[in-house]
Structure 1
Amino acid sequence: MEPGETRQVLPQLRRGALEFCVLALLRSQPRYGFDLVRELSADELLTSEGTIYPLLSRLRREGLVTTTWQESDSGPPRRYYALTPAGHGALAGFVEEWRRFRDGVDRVLRLGTGEGTR
């Protein structure tokens, strides 16, 4: 891998984990799209506002989130997204897989530093 190619790793990781980050943000309370954009952008998990709305539409079609319209004090009504039971299940499955994956990557990365195998 050339040095310039390593910059492509982060966007690939971001794309793979983004939908589960959205589900995680919806775990505790319903949120509207721009609120999700703001939260994900703060942690540099989202680089384009145009990414979130197609993702939310797909999650809705897959039955992982549901939507409701709510009046807003500062403008037109907002579409709020909430996790469905299927969404909770998908998130729980991802969390378990993510932990295994993360721990495996961390273990392999430590091997080259002499920190041991566990």
Structure 2
Amino acid sequence: MKADAVRGHLDAMLLAVLEPGPLHGYAVITAVQQRSGGVLELRTGTVYPALNRLERLGLLHSRWQPVSDRPRRCYELTDAGRRSLAAERSTWQDFTTAISAVLDLATPAGRTT
């Protein structure tokens, strides 16, 4: 999938994969790949700066935790992050509904041919 298709939606995807609980950076990348059925393969050079930015914005909190006997920075949603994710989901629903209406071959409601 084109990188442009992900642009603008990266933050929402990162927040969504962190919703169930804390993950370290590589696990975030793996979760996005798995949840997308392998279609989305994010690069570390894209994900880590985004995670750091989301943390600076107060949407994530991180702390060092041992994972497989190795310390890793794990990220988790803050309350502000949960609110932001809810808003992103609502915006996404509106967007996909509008785009589907345009791309759908069916005649729009209220229009006669």
Whether these two folds match at TM > 0.5 is: yes
Please tell me whether the aligned partners of residues 72 and 78 of structure 1 are also in contact (alpha carbons under 8 angstroms): yes
Question: 1:46, 1:20 → 2: CA distance?
Answer: 15
Runs of 4+ in 1 over 6 A off after TM superposition: none
Partner residue of 2:9? 17
Partner residue of 2:89? 95
Partner residue of 1:81? 75
Structure 1: 5+ residue stretches without partners: 1-6
Per-residue deviation, 1:47: 3.5
> Structure 1 residues 27, 47: CA separation in 2 closer, same or farther (over 3 Å shift)?
closer
CA offsets, 1:60-99, max 9 Å, x none? Answer: 00000000111122x4201110000110111100100110
CA-based RMSD of the aligned residues comes to 1.6
Q: Normalising by the residue count of structure 2, what TM-score does the alignment of the two structures yield?
A: 0.85
Question: 1:46, 1:64 → 2: CA distance?
Answer: 23
Please tell me whether the aligned partners of residues 32 and 81 of structure 1 are also in contact (alpha carbons under 8 angstroms): yes
Question: 2:41, 2:19 → 1: CA distance?
Answer: 18
The structure whose residues are more often helix, as a share, is 1
The answer to whether residue 110 in structure 2 is matched with residue 116 in structure 1 is no
Question: 1:16, 1:46 → 2: CA distance?
Answer: 16
Partner residue of 1:4? none
